Amino acid sequence: MRDFWRRFRRNKGAVVGLVILLLVVLVAATAPWLFPGSPWEMAGAPFAPPGEMGMLLGTDSLGRDVAAGIAHGARISLLVGAVSTAAALLVGVTLGAFAGYLGGIADDAVMRFTEFFQTIPSFVLAILLVAIFTPTITSVVGAIAVVSWPPVARVVRAEFLSLRGREFVQAAEVLGKSRLAIVLTDILPNALSPIVVLSSLMVASAILLESALSFLGLGDPNLMTWGFLIGSGRSVIRLAWWMSVFPGVAIFLTVLALNLVGEGLSDALNPRLARQRGGAA
């Protein structure tokens, strides 16, 4: 573990990313204390510029505090990112492991099914799903999960394909371990590092997807999200730039932080790759 942290630390960008990410998590966790009450509350005069009337980041067209919106929005964004990634991982890892370990017809069937999903542009599919199931937090998370599992399935399958012929797997088979036990206790732990790296990037893209949906007015209308803040501020950008700029910065920083952390994780988990990259540079 200490080794892992040392390797992670070597990537300066990753450390910066981790700090930003922790800050975002901290803001999300303390939002109910930092900004008590609902972020929809009309706390001040409409269109107050940042810094005026005690509003750190200004107010929107109804006099709602933009800072409160961002803090409460962080909760939703992180929640959507985490839950939809978890759901996508569950589906992707299961199908990938199934295909990679069994091979043959099972592999073919699962991969064709996966390709079917990969041929549809993911954002369009997400819009369609949310529009059909009416925008609620569940349908948004579901739609994001549905469009993000195929890459996971492919990565996991590739890992399983290469791992299942190794000696330690054969040894486990000879020992008479059940297939399920082999998959869960022998192969999966060894395939974990690419999954961890991939999932950190998936959280970032899930946050982006949710923001894009909310921006188009397809978010849950009862929840304050970053995408909603930008979407509602877009048309008045000439009147109140702060309404779209600050939530935009929040999305940018969070997604950037997640990408940096993902890269750091990749370096830390694949020391050989990292050294090669270091050598080349």
Partner 1 sequence: MTVSRRGLLAATASAPALMRVQEALAQGIAPRRGGTLTSILTPEPPVLQIGVNNQGPTLVAAGKIFQGLLTFSPTLEPVPVLAKSWTISPDGKEYVFRLQEGVKFHDGQPMTAEDVIFSITRFHFEVSPRARAIFALIDKAEAPDPLTVRITLKQPFQPFLLMFDNSACAIVPKHLFDGQDFRTAPAVQRAIGTGPFRLAEWQRGNFIRLERFADYWKPGQPYLDAIIYRIVPDSQSRRLALETGQVLLTQGSDVEPFDVPALRSRPNLDVSVKGWEYFSPVAWIELNHRVKPLDDVRVRQAISMAVDRNFITQRLWFGVGKPATNPIASTTRFHDASAKIAGYDVRAAAALLDAAGLRPNAQGVRFTLKHLTLPYGEVWSRLAEYLKQSLRQVGIALELESTDAGSWARRVGAWEYETTINFVYQFGDPTLGVERTYVSTNIQKVTFTNTGGYANPKVDELFAAARNAADPKDRQAAFSAVQKILCEEVPQIWLMEMAFPTITDKKVRNAVTTGLGVHASFDDVFLTA
Which stretches of the chain bind partner 1, using CB under 8 A? Answer: 38, 40-42, 46, 61-63, 131, 134-135, 217-218, 221-222, 232, 235-236, 238-239
Indicate the residue among 17 and 73 with the shorter CB distance to partner 1: 73
- Give the burial class of 2: count Cβ atoms within 10 A of its Cβ; 0-12 exposed, 13-18 middle, 19 or more buried: exposed
Indicate the residue among 42 and 196 with the shorter CB distance to partner 1: 42
Shortest distance, position 46 Cβ to partner 1, whole Å: 6
> Token pair of 162, please?
């290469």
Report how far residue 172's alpha carbon sits from residue 185's, in angstroms, rounded to the nearest whole number.
10
Shortest distance, position 219 Cβ to partner 1, whole Å: 8
DSSP per-residue letters across 182-212: IIIIIIHHHHHHHHHHHHHHHHHHHHHHHHH
Shortest distance, position 263 Cβ to partner 1, whole Å: 37
> Token pair of 56, please?
């750190």
Shortest distance, position 142 Cβ to partner 1, whole Å: 17
Shortest distance, position 40 Cβ to partner 1, whole Å: 5
Indicate the residue among 46 and 248 with the shorter CB distance to partner 1: 46
Contact 226, 209 (CB under 8 A): no
Indicate the residue among 166 and 234 with the shorter CB distance to partner 1: 234
Shortest distance, position 56 Cβ to partner 1, whole Å: 21
Q: E strand or H helix at 172, and its extent?
A: helix 167-174
Indicate the residue among 2 and 238 with the shorter CB distance to partner 1: 238
Indicate the residue among 58 and 92 with the shorter CB distance to partner 1: 58
Shortest distance, position 236 Cβ to partner 1, whole Å: 6
Residues near 87 by beta carbon (within 8 Å), at least 6 away in sequence: 141, 142, 145, 149
Indicate the residue among 65 and 267 with the shorter CB distance to partner 1: 65
* Closest residue by Cα to residue 164 from 117, 219, 217, 96: 96
Q: Hey, is 239 helix, strand or coil?
A: coil
Among positive and negative, which fits the CA dihedral 169, 175, 176, 180?
negative
| Bridge partners for 59 per DSSP | 65
Shortest distance, position 225 Cβ to partner 1, whole Å: 13
Indicate the residue among 1 and 132 with the shorter CB distance to partner 1: 132
**What letters, b where the CB count within 10 A reaches 16 and e where it falls short, cover 27-50?**
bbeebeeebeeebeeebbeebbeb
